[in-house]
Structure 1
Amino acid sequence: MNTFRELGLNESLLQAIQDMGFETPSEVQQKAIPVLLQQKTDIVALAQTGTGKTAAFGFPLIQNIQAESKSTQALILSPTRELCLQITNEIKQYSKYIKGLHTVAVYGGASITEQAREVKKGAQIIVATPGRMQDMINRNYVNIKNIEICVLDEADEMLNMGFYEDITSILADTPKDKQTWLFSATMPNEVAKIAKEFMHKPQEITVGHKNQGSTNVSHEYYLVGARDRYPVLKRIADMNPEIFSVIFCRTKRDTQSIAEKLIEDGYNAAALHGDLSQAQRDSVMKSFRQRQIQMLVATDVAARGIDVDDITHVINYQLPDEIETYNHRSGRTGRAGKTGTSIVIITKSEFRKIQQIERNLKTKFIEKDIPKGIEICEVQLLHLANKVTKVEVADEMDQYLPKIEELLSGFTKEELIRKMFAVEFNRFLEYYKKNSNLESPKSSKGKRDGGETNNDGTVRYFLNLGSRDNFDWMKLKDFLKENLDLGRDDLFKVDVKDSFSFFNTDAEHSDRVMDILNNLHYEGRCVNVEISTNTGGGRSSRRDRGGDRGRDKSPRRRESISDKASSKFGRRREETRAPKNERTSRRGDRPRRSK
């Protein structure tokens, strides 16, 4: 079926579709709409985010509504406020030629009494977040006991966000003979459980393979050293001057930190996380949709429901724990038939996660070389030349041209071109001359950044804080847990000595431990952490027994420790812990992006 008319839609919907400029139905629309129009059936539709699922259920939903009746006939549940509002707006656009049909959004962060009033006026369709909908039911503000259709949109995301109990409670308040339409990007066990418990012999529609990512998205990864994540992120951005991206971090702390670094380096960036107020989140999203922000740094929870067209790149600054979450991340790009790129920045210890994603999503990752400085300079120079050819000159500039021409009269055309382009080009050239090329770490089984993973898959660390710093094992564990944003069970074998300590984590947390603690200060001095060869049981190694170096004043003692520990710890401290004035000067050398 090549047209919407062939799908069986009525004239009111076809007119609205024409106004919106839709021409050809997507695959999920072609498969779902005829079934939902011709049969009263439950349906499970699996399709990647951005493939047109809202229209796939929205068109048949509207056509099945009796507009002359003011009773609530359909309920659409969605995971976030942003997606709830987006679906509501789209349903209103689809139904604009149907007199008397009203759609009301019900979500947290707004007046519940005002929403209740809107529903009471007559809302045939309610679009709601699970938490607010449950609250409305508990207060008897809505009646969904007679609805005919219930839609679960982005079902996997709702369950990932912990809405299982709310969803099951809401569904239990609806008629058993209603139609249930479940739309999801993936089919984890929780979604299958919902389908089994609340749906009757549902028809299944799958676009692509089950749990498969979008075919319009290419998947790439950069293998980096533990401390090179941000420099590599910066090179990726510089290598793509027209980048319009979402950068995903695991925690609110990392999200805010990376956004601040990007802003400091001159990029149009902003953070989106749970510590922001609703007004702040709305402001950030408005700026992002208007492309005033090129790089949005977000947590998974805050980014759920983002539906912005033309995102060129999704960058996984850190991989998520769940493969389904990666699928949702990558689904933010490559939407509506356009292509996009999903990039992962990983260390050697995380490589197995790439392989797991490849197996589960039936996709292939391409390893990319870290961009070299001279390559970035070339890209930036050509980008500037391209901008010059397209720039529009304001008439107001004409009054200043005589003075400019007089000032530049002594230069030839070739000299002027060289000088004009050098203004922008030199910034990048100077920065990348001072910052040598980054190399991907070579594969080395069991080894990672100067230390080794133990046979049990854990890593032991040396830390230059101890009982002299008023730590016992419990206080140190709390300190580490808070700064690393890890659970208590993620930290173990904590052993506090006089001026140093040891602790263990699973290997998957190692890069996080190294990144955060080596950039931390405690009571005015730098915290240093290093991967230890001590397994946490039995006698300590020579290197660990010499760990008192954090307090030792003897030059000879420090030298012997450094020598006997292969000098690696000493070199790393010198390289990464330069005096404050030197660190400041290096930061000032970064090229700032032109606004």
Structure 2
Amino acid sequence: MSEVMTGQSFADLALPAVVLKQLEKMSFTQPTPIQLQAIPALLDGKNVLGEAQTGTGKTAAFGLPGLAAIDTKERSTQMLVVAPTRELAIQVAEAVTEFAQQMRGLEVATVYGGSAFGPQIKALRGGAQVVVGTPGRLLDLLKKGVLNLSSLRLAVLDEADEMLNMGFIEDIETIMAAVPNTAQRALFSATMPPAIRKLAKTFLVNDAGEQPLNIQIAAIEKAKATIRQRAWLVRGLNKMQALTRLLETLEYQRVLIFVRTRSDTMDVTEQLQASGFKASPLSGDLNQAQREQTVAQLRSGRIEILVATDVVARGLDVPEITHVVNYDLPGDSESYVHRIGRTGRAGRSGEAILFYRNKEKHLLRTYERLTNGTIEFFEVPNAKELSAHRQQKLQQQLVDTVAGGEFAELNAIIAKMQADTGLSAEQIAAALLAQQNSQRPLIVADDPAPRKFEERADRRGKRDARDGRDSRDGREKRNSRDRRDANVEFDTYKIKVGREHGARPQDIVGAIANEGDIDSRFIGQIQLFDGHSLVELPKGMPTNVLRVLQRARVRQQQMDMELASGEQITRRPRPPAGERPAFKGAPRRPERSPRGAAQGERRSRRPQ
């Protein structure tokens, strides 16, 4: 939610008591300017045209009055929100779900491309009253007759200008044409280009010719001049390796790490805790009391690192946060400004760190423009630098210990050890260092050389924002450069995911490409069995990548990838050149966010 408040209360806006109770539980007391204008208008049955950036609190502006209009006893789609990217769709759905926690019987369905139709169709047929989705998948579901809008009460277009920029305008027109005339409409956009104004004129004017309420909220500069922004290109190391190295070498007081989904908060936290960091998740799975307790522990220092999503970090004000890490880039630019505003509080200095991929580099310019700042590029400490850091840190600890301690009894023990064993003091010290080294190596193994397929993928350069994806049906086109590289030799790996888990080849490709940062051209044939599957990957896969893939999940089932012992993929007759698919079934790669969200930042599983 925006930090700019109006001085008025949500209780003044005639919202239902059940909604107000939840807002109080979430510590939402004062509406932002756009909420103050949009909520009463929508409650009064008016259509709304809002010109406001994401950080101004638009989700609550349409979500709260939308929930007020829903009859939870009626199992049909009553509120529809169209968002440009899966990331924003997930964020909106999570926010609406949280607003509706006190509303028994209310269900929210999130639908987007790149994920299986089955669970999404099941949610719609189950009677979800709120549907949040991306244009391509919504259009698919409309064509299949699964998405029924006959009972719709409110249709919302969020980030309309972004959908225009991504080529979704025809999809939006088709979707809005299916909205019944009796339904309210709301359109929100950061800018109002002619095409969006035309869309508003077509769909926001009601049957009586009444014009929509036009709300304009000026952009508010929220970036702090004291926040240093730095960016690291994800390459060589995976993101978790880079994160642990940064946390080990940075001088920080408290750190807030932003990830995309609730499940990601748990995954990242578990890995940080396993590496010895005092980390905790902050997700929508926690109730208000648990959240307050977690934030209190952060302030007190019992935990030093918080892993959170955009939704639950809304309004978080902890002056001790010195660093914000964008482990996953946000689904929209304004959320980035909101994120980095969690540090540099109360006039203090802070640092914002971004993990980005080549395909996302253009977003950095947008962030610089929004924050009126400069983003510096940096490299994560390499193995040699990390070794030097650990050795220097241990050396300083030993010096401090010697300066502040009495060692008469310990010196006597050392003397006795020397007499009993014949070892020198240097040998005893070296043995103690060896024990220390076994727990946390003082000489870190050399970093793996950049993978050949990674270098090739980087050289492919910038793509069209939609990455060759047909926005009309959500499908991606595979051309000759996307096909399996004929010069790569493959090993066969076995994964513990198969047909009985509902896995499809594209699910496996998505998990391997996303988690291992492997271009799909370097994923060979895939063969499904009931309880497992076989997949071809390039020979000489780095150990650190294989470790990541062992933990990766397909259909919520851990892959446990390992080299196949004697089992090989059964070859089909090879079709003529030019007709040959990239791998069995020619699955498409997972849908990528047209706004450039990184391939490695999406999950093959459906967010919980």
Which structure has the larger Rg over C-alpha atoms? 1
Which structure ranks higher in relative contact order (CA pairs < 8 Å, sequence separation ≥ 6)?
2
TM-score band, normalised by shorter chain: 0.3 to 0.5
Query: TM-score, normalised on structure 1?
Result: 0.45
